[in-house]
Structure 1
Amino acid sequence: MYAAVAAGGFRRYATYRAATAAGVFTNTVFGLILVYTYLALWDEKPHLGGYDQAQAVTYVWLGQALYSTLAIQGGGAEKELMGRIRTGEIAIDLYRPADLQLWWLASDLGRAVFQMLGRGVVPFVFGALFFPMALPNDVTTWVAFVVAVLLGMVVSFGIRHLAALSMFWLMDDRGVSQTLMVTGIFCSGMTLPLNAFPGAFGDIVRVLPWAAQIQMPADVLMGEAAPLGAYAFQAAWAVALLAAGRLVQSVATRRVVVQGG
């Protein structure tokens, strides 16, 4: 059943062809802006964050490939779930003979896989064609990278699902959505690699769950992190976030009152 839900999530986003094409163009343009910014920065600091210039360029295009895949600033399945809680349609979801968390996880994974293939691949290939990038030559590293991305998808869902569940109490998603956007862009390393963050502040952001989204897959791809260590970090946060979501969901749905019924 959950495989069918994931397939449905994939097909649903595949129907928005114009939006996908616009997203590819937008990610490519932002990639170009960031690449030239990074090139200027790495000219001044050639080994910032332990990366050379080719690795910094690779990090930029990888970030653009994963931006929508991991819903870095929100806008995945959690957005629809927030709306369903606010309108009371969540009651229908609770009547389904399916686990609420697993249902939305499957749907979001389907969305994420489509976004990676439909919106992420083209900007990454564009970057590889026109800029020097630090890409591995062996298949094993690419497979390890794909696993890291899949774990990053689960961590991303865990963060956003917790935010969505807050609607049971807040009933207004604007503040939560803004918080998701800011923390997602900044703490995931979308703006600057987390390796480049200085001192104690850098130590803190590198152990937060957002580090599992871009930083870990990037380091696995470029050989800066052992895959097993990266997986352990990502899996630990995935389990912790899903468990926290399960607990909050249990508290929130213990007594649900739907307006009008």
Structure 2
Amino acid sequence: MRLYAAVAVSGFRRHATYRMATAAGVFTNTVFGFILAYTFIALWDERPHLGGYDRGQALTFVWVGQALLAAVSLLGGGFEQELQTRIRNGDIAIDLYRPADLQLWWLSADLGRAAFQLLGRGVVPLTAGSLCFELTLPGDPLRWLLFLCAVTLAVVVGFALRFLLALCAFWLLDGDGVIMIGQLLCVFFSGTLLPLTVFPGAFADVAQALPWSAVLQVPVDVLIGRYTGAGLAGALGFQAGWAVVLLALGRLTQARATRKAVVQGG
């Protein structure tokens, strides 16, 4: 485990070197946070308690979403393009020769990346939102700790989904289209655009049962206190369950892909 801890630290340091990109990301997240916040204010003025949220909770949803945007890679930007490139040019052979598990290696690196993005691009937008709007943020340290647990599980679920997409490069000459479709599904079904409870009827139930809801919808609901007691345990269990299922599916796919790996182009 010391090896994977070192890989995670390396992932943190790697992304910490891109200071201008981080500053630009903070600025972008903050600006879009204001745009979405005023859009939500107009919507909730017309439809109070839409989706079961009051206005303060809805605004909290906006700003926590902006804070987690890069950490959980809601719009991509994680490791998947790099892994696909290594598969296409044959460098994946070097990865497979390492005395380390391929999936755990990339997961460790992604956890390090997510930790930096949460601190580097998450704190400032959420602070700006809390200063300019009345957000429903908890004062209980335990609630924040549970939120961090939910965010960690969200990162793992997001990684597992993107790992599966990246492995498509073993069978496809160009997996960029698959990654783009995955990003669109994540944006729509994670709650990035609107809380999933806003969707009508059975569609909302289906959307909340999909793995993408574990990436954003569940962590935000944990923070604002929509889950308590057994419901809170169930929400974290829902995330953990999808993490286990998707990681296992990724491991099976990896085993099938690498059983007879053919380097494209020769």
Instruction: Tell me the TM-score normalized by structure 2.
Output: 0.96
Equivalence map 1:168-207=2 (5 Å): 168-207=170-209
Given the alignment of the two structures, is residue 2 of structure 1 paired with residue 36 of structure 2, yes or no? no
Given the alignment of the two structures, is residue 253 of structure 1 paired with residue 258 of structure 2, yes or no? yes
Q: Which amino acid aligns with 2:164?
A: L
Q: Answer yes or no: is the 8 Å Cα contact 1:66–1:120 preserved in 2.
A: yes
Q: Which residue is 1:11 aligned to?
A: 13
Q: Which residue is 1:233 aligned to?
A: 238
Cα offset for 1:216? 0.6
Q: Answer yes or no: is the 8 Å Cα contact 1:72–1:184 preserved in 2.
A: yes
User: RMSD in angstroms over aligned alpha carbons?
Assistant: 1.0
Q: Which residue is 2:224 aligned to?
A: 222
What CA deviation, in whole Å up to 9, does each residue of 1:123-176 have, x standing for no partner? 001000110000111111111111000010100001000000111001202211
Cα offset for 1:177? 2.0
Alpha carbons of structure 1 residues 34 and 260: separation in structure 2 relative to 1, 3 Å? closer
Q: Which moved more, 1:237-246 or 1:81-90?
A: 81-90
Equivalence map 1:91-240=2 (5 Å): 91-226=93-228, 227-240=232-245
Cα offset for 1:222? 0.7
Equivalence map 1:15-30=2 (5 Å): 15-30=17-32
Percent sequence identity is 61
Cα offset for 1:258? 2.3
Whole-angstrom distance in 2 between the partners of 1:14 and 1:209: 29
Q: May I ask how many residue pairs the two structures share in their alignment? A: 261
Cα offset for 1:74? 1.5
Q: Which residue is 2:89 aligned to?
A: 87
Whole-angstrom distance in 2 between the partners of 1:158 and 1:188: 15
Cα offset for 1:259? 4.8
Whole-angstrom distance in 1 between the partners of 2:132 and 2:253: 47
Instruction: Tell me the TM-score normalized by structure 1.
Output: 0.98
Runs of 4+ in 1 over 6 A off after TM superposition: none
Whole-angstrom distance in 2 between the partners of 1:86 and 1:6: 24
Whole-angstrom distance in 2 between the partners of 1:260 and 1:85: 11
Q: Which amino acid aligns with 1:108?
A: D
Gaps of 5+ in 2: none
Q: Which moved more, 1:179-188 or 1:231-240?
A: 179-188
Q: Answer yes or no: is the 8 Å Cα contact 1:219–1:225 preserved in 2.
A: yes
Whole-angstrom distance in 2 between the partners of 1:75 and 1:119: 13
